[in-house]
Amino acid sequence: MKPTDHPRKKGGATIPEVAAKAGVSVGTVSRVINGFANVSEDNRERVQRAMEELAYEKPRAAANPLMRLNRSRFRTCNIGLVFAEVSKQWANHPLLASYTMGVERASQEHELHTLVEIWVKGDPLPRCVSDQKIDGLLIKTTRGLPAFVRDLPPQLPVVTIGLDDPISTLPQVTPDNHGAGWTVTHHLWERGHRRIAFLSTEAAHPMFLARAQGYEAFLRAHQAYDPRLLVLGDDSTAGKSPELTPPDMTELLRAVTVKDLPTAIITANDWMARGLYTALEKAGWRVPQDVSVIGFDNATAVCTSMSPALTSYDISFAKTAYAAAWELFAQIEEPSRRRDPSIQMVRGTIVERESVRSLTSAA
């Protein structure tokens, strides 16, 4: 079974849309739908009102092809989506919404329901698991498997989203970050750039590191790699909570401009590009007249608010989550496929805006 690009059901609202309408997190909507008690009365009423206004309908379990006997019990027709490695402050962040929307779209196509939770280190087993409310589990993680994995029921189908770990025993679906780094560098190379820098505030983040490795691999293959133009910071506090202001890229920029200003700079994500714009402006350099800039993630609100608008690689978090959900459905329907330790890479695409200039000749 492979993910296909089905059209959305006509008139069908999604959980993220209900959450946006009610002004609450997707997890709150999920708890209201499933009758959990840990929801304030005000939030419950807002969610119920939004569901009525959007004509949201909970998937019909009876029509679901997965609803059949399994070990003497009926399927729940629910799957779990657990976000590990993030704090509760991330609940309403657009990044989590992207993953949730991808899973929700796949679930609607199967007439299933998604239970969303945020798991924080030290917490017990996710409630959707301990309450036996799910037929399969998706775990969003990048730095490694959370501790609760060792306590999961052995028969429960599990797929990770975002993990790229060659020794993991679980199936993994992840964005092709290495390929993204290669593709972005190739994009600049084709436009005449040869002095291309890569900046990241974090040296150890798996996604950022893979993007930097793709950048380096491309330039090494073209005998153009200069280690002085790859600068990885050591901000170990990044990612603990959503950043309210763009990172200060002044020192990283200074490190790659000791000799000459590169003709193009790649940042590990769009938020860093936003900080780089500020650093470049302070130094008196213009984008793209003096230096081209390109980022990753295609965070539309960030990219389009910048001047000039930022060219970015759309890593497609929703598409990755969608593919992971389909892999999980296949495991639920075919138990023999469980625990296959494969890694499925999902490609993205470059979204061109105004921050990259083509050079008339190679620099």
| Residue 46: CATH number of its domain | 1.10.260.40
122 pLDDT tier (thresholds 50, 70, 90)? confident
Q: Is residue 61 part of a domain?
A: no
216 pLDDT tier (thresholds 50, 70, 90)? very high
38 lies in the same domain as 133: no
Q: Is residue 353 part of a domain?
A: no
Mean pLDDT, rounded, of the chain? 85
135 or 1: which leads in pLDDT: 135
204 lies in the same domain as 86: no
For the CA atoms of 100, 101, 102, 107, what is the dihedral angle to 10 degrees?
90
91 pLDDT tier (thresholds 50, 70, 90)? low
What is the per-residue pLDDT for 321?
A: 95
What is the per-residue pLDDT for 138?
A: 97
Q: Report the DSSP beta bridge partners of residue 175.
A: 346
159 lies in the same domain as 203: no
What is the per-residue pLDDT for 3?
A: 43
Q: What is the mean pLDDT of residues 148-168?
A: 91
Q: What is the mean pLDDT of residues 87-104?
A: 81
SS3 per residue for 210-269? HHHHHHHHHHHHCCCCCHHHEEECECCCCCCCCCCCCCCCHHHHHHHCCCCCCCEEEECC
Q: What is the mean pLDDT of residues 312-336?
A: 90
Q: Is residue 352 part of a domain?
A: no
206 lies in the same domain as 309: yes
203 lies in the same domain as 294: yes
Q: What is the mean pLDDT of residues 65-75?
A: 47
Q: What share of the chain is helix, strand, coil (3-state, %, to 5)?
A: 40, 15, 45
User: Where is 70: in which H helix or E strand?
Assistant: strand 69-70
Number of domains, the chain: 3
From CA 76, how far away is CA 40, in angstroms rounded?
26
Domain residues for 221? 177-315
Q: What is the CATH number of the domain that holds 100?
A: 3.40.50.2300
Q: Is residue 5 part of a domain?
A: no
From CA 171, how far away is CA 329, in angstroms rounded?
12
316 pLDDT tier (thresholds 50, 70, 90)? confident
Q: Is residue 322 part of a domain?
A: yes
194 lies in the same domain as 300: yes
Q: What is the mean pLDDT of residues 154-179?
A: 93
> One-letter amino acid identity for 181?
G
93 lies in the same domain as 131: yes
From CA 81, how far away is CA 114, in angstroms rounded?
7
Q: Which two tokens stand for residue 316?
A: 């497609």
What is the per-residue pLDDT for 361?
A: 53
Q: Is the distance from CB of 299 to CB of 267 less than 8 angstroms? A: no
What is the per-residue pLDDT for 250?
A: 95
Tokens 């799957």 locate to 79
Minimum mean pLDDT range among 25-29, 223-227, 320-324: 25-29
Q: Is residue 1 part of a domain?
A: no
**pLDDT per residue as tens digits for the range 252-267:** 999 999 878 999 999 9
Cα-to-chain-centroid distance, residue 249: 23
Q: Is residue 3 part of a domain?
A: no
Q: Is residue 2 part of a domain?
A: no
Q: Which residues contact 96 (CB under 8 A, 6 or more apart)?
A: 26, 83, 86, 90
What is the per-residue pLDDT for 114?
A: 93
50 lies in the same domain as 23: yes
From CA 206, how far away is CA 232, in angstroms rounded?
12
158 lies in the same domain as 196: no
230 lies in the same domain as 304: yes
93 lies in the same domain as 190: no
Q: Computed over its alpha carbons, how large is the radius of gyration of the chain? A: 22
pTM, entire model: 0.77
Percent above pLDDT 90 for the chain:
57
Q: What is the mean pLDDT of residues 287-297?
A: 97
193 lies in the same domain as 307: yes
**pLDDT per residue as tens digits for the range 332-349:** 887 765 555 788 999 999
Q: Has residue 285 got a pLDDT over 50?
A: yes
Minimum mean pLDDT range among 244-258, 299-313, 333-347: 333-347
